[in-house]
Amino acid sequence: MRYKIVAGNWKMNLNQNEAIQLTNDINQYLSNNNLPKQVKVAIHPPLPYLANCVNYISEKNNAVFGVGGQNCYTQTSGAYTGETSPEMLKDIGCQYVLIGHSERRKYFNESHAFLAEKVKKVLETGLTPIFCCGEQLDIREAGTHEAHVGAQLRESLFDLSKEDFSKIIIAYEPVWAIGTGVTASPEQAQDMHAALRQLIANQYDKDIAENTTILYGGSCKPANAASLFSQADVDGGLIGGASLKAESFTEIIGIMAKCLSA
């Protein structure tokens, strides 16, 4: 099934109490509101708080509400000081992990090949990778954004078997829209999502393309979520700033639910 997902990327924000409170508030919202069955919610807290956040999700919400890492390494265990394996994330109850966020690509020089290794390892472990892609402003202005993002998928994902690829979630996040307050227009988002779906259909098949969840990320907030989520190929959002407050994040979840019933 092509899930609709509202995922929060908390980045390096919040303290422990705030992280627990926010998880609790989202959990409460989900306990009080029944979402359409294809909608899922995920949060990506900072690593030190992950296990704690998992514990604040009530059993009833387990099927809907998942926790994910913001990053992971390519190995299971060993002498890799400072790194976290997908197995460790799984062990503490994570379901998802972000791979290739533009901030990882920019500040930590993560290459296509390294991201391909991570995705493979995450899939082997049984976690769901949320693979982030997106172009910088100069690439958008040059008009080569579809080729650029297409290459990110081709280089890091297209070695996967059909079966493996069908387990992946993609998040299109134009770098110029992340944390800037500038959002891609619904048309810009739709055009890119449709282009990526076509690329996936060409590489794999139409069925797999139709079933791939493609999220939009970049200054998504309550004020623009409805126009983005109502686009045919936009399956939800990866939310940064607006995921740090229960009010705005749960409002976005509500908007997703409403878009489906409209």
- Binding mask 230-259 vs ligand PGA (x if CB under 6 A, - otherwise)? --------xxxxx-----------------
Sign of CA dihedral 161, 1, 238, 77: negative
Return the structure tokens found at 22: 């926010």
Q: Which of 103, 145, 173, 193 is catalytic?
A: 173
Q: How many CB atoms lie within 10 A of CB 204?
A: 18
- Binding mask 201-220 vs ligand PGA (x if CB under 6 A, - otherwise)? ----------------xxxx
Choice between 209 and 220, CB closer to ligand PGA:
220
Q: Which of 101, 103, 135, 145 is catalytic?
A: 101
Is 39 in contact with 64 (CB distance < 8 Å)? yes
Longest dimension (CA), the chain: 52
Sign of CA dihedral 84, 87, 91, 93: positive
Is 248 in contact with 2 (CB distance < 8 Å)? no
Q: Minimum distance from CB of 70 to ligand PGA (Å)?
A: 9
Q: Minimum distance from CB of 205 to ligand PGA (Å)?
A: 29
Choice between 151 and 182, CB closer to ligand PGA:
182
Taking the mean position of all CA atoms in its chain, how far away is CA 112?
A: 18
- For residues 29, 31, 37 and 42, what is the CA-based torsion angle, rounded to 10 degrees? 60
Taking the mean position of all CA atoms in its chain, how far away is CA 91?
A: 20
Choice between 22 and 239, CB closer to ligand PGA:
239
Per 3-state DSSP, the chain is made up of helix, strand and coil in percentages (nearest 5) of 50, 15, 35
Choice between 66 and 204, CB closer to ligand PGA:
66
Q: Minimum distance from CB of 198 to ligand PGA (Å)?
A: 24
Q: Minimum distance from CB of 170 to ligand PGA (Å)?
A: 13
How many positions of this chain bind ligand PGA (CB under 6 A)? 13
Q: Minimum distance from CB of 260 to ligand PGA (Å)?
A: 21
Q: Minimum distance from CB of 130 to ligand PGA (Å)?
A: 10
Is 151 in contact with 117 (CB distance < 8 Å)? no
Choice between 77 and 182, CB closer to ligand PGA:
182
What span, in angstroms and rounded, lies between the C-alpha atoms of 251 and 153?
31
- Establish if 153 lies at the interface with ligand PGA (CB under 6 A): no
Residue 229 is which amino acid?
A: F
Among 6, 9, 53, 248, interactor with ligand PGA by CB under 6 A: 9
Contacts (Cβ under 8 Å, ≥6 apart) of 47? 69, 70, 84
Choice between 39 and 242, CB closer to ligand PGA:
242
44 is catalytic: no
101 is catalytic: yes
- Binding mask 165-184 vs ligand PGA (x if CB under 6 A, - otherwise)? --------x----xx-----
Interface residues toward ligand PGA, by CB under 6 A: 9, 173, 178-179, 217-220, 238-242
Residues tagged active-site = 101, 173
